[in-house]
Amino acid sequence: MTVPKFALYENTETALGKSRAEVVVIGTLQGEKAPVLAPGAEAVDAAFDGKLAGLLATLGASGKAEEIVKLPSLGKLGADVVLAVGLGKAVDGTVTPEQVRRAAGAAGRALAGTARALFVPSTLDLQAAVEGLALGAYKFTEYKSEPGDAPVSAVDFVQPAEGQSRAHKATLKAATAIAESVIIARDLINTPPNDLFPASFAERAKKLAEANDLEYEVLDEKALKRKGFGGILGVGGGSSRPPRLVRVSYKGPKAGKKVALVGKGITFDSGGISIKPAANMDNMTSDMSGAAAVLASVVLAAKLKYPLEVTAHIPLAENLPSGSSYRPGDVLSMYGGKTVEVLNTDAEGRLVLADAMVRAAEEDPDYLIETSTLTGAQVVALGNRTAGIMGSEEFRDRVAGIAQATGEGGWPMPLPEELRADLDSKLADLANVTGHRWGGMLAAGLFLREFVADGLPWAHIDIAGPAYNTGGAWGYTGKGGTGVPVRTIAAVLADIAANG
C-alpha cells in the first residue's frame, strides 16, 4: 500500500473554500462534562453557528482518546460529513504529539472508502498528524479477493502557523517518507512465509536498493559456507529454502558518522527440533520484523538524505525441523571464530544476529543498532507495546529516550553480569541459552554482547511484542505488522546526524 496523497493549505478558511474534501476532520478534547473543540476547529464551528460542540455532545461525543463521531454537515460546508476524533485530555493545557498521532490514526481507519478528506486541527503537530493518518489508514489486502473499502486516497492539511510554508512543506515531506518506510516494513511482515522466504526477501531488498540508488550485496548458502557464517547456516539448514545474508548500504552527502543496522530475519520460526506449540505458531511469520525494520530504515535514510553512512546487515533463514536441521547438542562455529553450543534450537535469532553483528563491525561503524523479535521474555517483562532496550549504557539510554519521544516506546534494561556465567558451555565458548527461565531477555542481550566489537556503542531493541499486533486496531496500529521500530531508528539516525 502507498500512503495517501497529501496537500497543505496555509489556513483553515482557505482550505474549507478550496479543498474538494468529502469529509472534514476536527479534533475534540475531553472536558469535564462535554467535549471541547480542539484548537483549529473555529472556522468549522462558525459554520454551525458556534453550536458544533453541543451537537457532538448530543450524539454522545465525550472527546475521549480515539473516539469517532460523525455528523452530516447539512450543507453548511462543502464537505458532506464532519468527523470528530477524540484527542483525550489535555495535560497542562497541551496535547502531545502522540495524542495527535493516535487520534489521526483512528481517523485514518474511519476514513476508509473516502476519496478525499480535510484535516483541520491546524495548531496541532503536523508531523504527528501526517504519520498517524497515513499509518492508521494502512490496510494489507494483497491476498483478499474482496478487499473492502479502499483507504482514503488524499488528505489535505492546514499548516500549524502562517508564514512558515517552507518549513511545513519540509515537515510534510519528511513525515510522508517516514510513513512510507513504516509501510515498507509492514508489507514485508504481513506477507505470508510461503511467499516471503530468504531468497524472495533478498530479491525484494534488491528492488528497494535499486529504486533508491543503494549499494546491494547478497551472500547465498555457498558464499556463507565459504566465509564461515556458521550461525546463519546452522539455523537455516533444516529448510529446503536456504539462508541468505543481505547487505544494503547508503552513503549520504558529506557523510559523517557510520551507523550499522542489523535485523533478525527469520522468515518463519517453527522452533526447529525444539518445536514450538502449534497454537499461535502462525504469528511466527513476523519473526523477520527486525530485518524488515532495518531494510526500511536504510531506505528512509536515503529518502531523507541523512549526512551519514548507514548500512543494514540482514541475516535471513527459515527455522524448520527436518533431517538436515541443527540439533540440541550441536556446536556451531560462528563467523569470527567463536563457538556456540546449541541447547535449544528455538533460540535461533541470536545465532543469526551474532554472525551479522560480527560482519557489521568489520566496517568500523561508529554505532551499531540491532533489532529483533528475540525473546518471549520481553513480552512477559514489558508487555506487547514496550520494547526492551539493552546495550552499552550511554547509547542504550539515548536510544530509549528517543524511542519514548517518537511514541513507539522502549525501556532501558540492564545486562546483569551474574547472568553471564549461566551462558558458559561445557563444550564451546558459550551456550545459546542459560538453561533456566529467569531473565531470558537479559540473557539474550548478554549473548549478543559477546559478538560486539570492543568499544563499539551498541543498542539491542527487543521487539517481540511491539512488532506484531495480534489484537484489535488501536491508534495508528492495525492488526498484524506494526513497523516498530522504524520511526525510532529514523529518529536515532537524525539525532546522530545532528549531534554525532
Contact (Cβ atoms closer than 8 angstroms) between residue 348 and residue 439: no
Numbered residues of the known binding site = 264, 269, 287, 346, 348
User: Rounded to whole angstroms, how far apart are CA atoms 161 and 125?
Assistant: 11
- Extract the C-alpha cell encoding 103: 487520534
* Candidates 64, 276, 338, 479; catalytic one: 276
Question: Choosing from 186, 350, 359, 487, which is the catalytic residue?
Answer: 350
Q: Would you call 18 a catalytic residue per the annotation?
A: no
254 catalytic per annotation: no
Do the Cβ atoms of 179 and 130 come closer than 8 Å?
A: yes
Within 111-153, strands assigned E span 116-119
User: Residues within the annotated binding site for Mn(2+)?
Assistant: 264, 269, 287, 346, 348
Residues 6+ apart with CB under 8 A from 400: 389, 410, 411, 412
Using CB atoms within 10 A of its CB, is residue 317 exposed (0-12), middle (13-18) or buried (19+)? buried
Pairing verdict, β 81-86 and 116-119: unpaired
Q: Are 218 and 206 in contact (CB under 8 A)?
A: yes
Residue with cell 495517501: 4
Give the whole-angstrom CA distance, residue 197 versus residue 137.
27
The counts of H helices and E strands in the chain are: 16, 21
Q: Alpha-carbon distance 181 to 491, whole Å?
A: 13
Residue 194 burial (C-beta neighbours within 10 Å; 0-12, 13-18, 19+):
exposed
Which residues are catalytic, by number? 276, 350
